[in-house]
Amino acid sequence: MAQRMTRRGPLTRDEIVRQALVVAETEGMEKLSLHKIAAAVGVRTMSLYNHVGDKADVLDAMADVILKGIVIPDTDDMPWEDGLRALARAFRTAALKYPHSAPLVLTRRLNAPAAMPVVETALRFLKRAGLDDAAAVHVLRAVIAFLIGTLSREVGFAPTYAGAIPGVVAMREQDLVESGLPAVAAASAELAVCDHEIEMEFGLELLLDAVRRRVEALS
What pLDDT, in 10s, does the model give residues 63-79? 999 989 999 887 778 89
What pLDDT, in 10s, does the model give residues 1-12? 445 556 567 899
The secondary structure of 105-167 as a DSSP string is HHHS-TTSTTTHHHHHHHHHHHHHHT--HHHHHHHHHHHHHHHHHHHHHHHTSS-------HH
**Residue 187: closest CA among 158, 151, 149, 161:** 161
pLDDT band at 172 (very low <50, low <70, confident <90, very high): confident
**Residue 204: closest CA among 122, 100, 131:** 122
User: Tell me, what's the pLDDT at 36?
Assistant: 95
Residue 100 DSSP SS3: coil
Of residues 216 and 164, the one with the higher pLDDT is 216
User: Tell me, what's the pLDDT at 1?
Assistant: 41
pTM of the complete model: 0.80
* Residue 40 pLDDT > 60: yes
Q: Span 85-113, mean pLDDT?
A: 84
What is the chain's percent helix, strand, coil content, to nearest 5?
65, 0, 35
In whole angstroms, give the CA distance from residue 144 to residue 215.
Answer: 20
pLDDT band at 27 (very low <50, low <70, confident <90, very high): very high
User: Tell me, what's the pLDDT at 43?
Assistant: 92
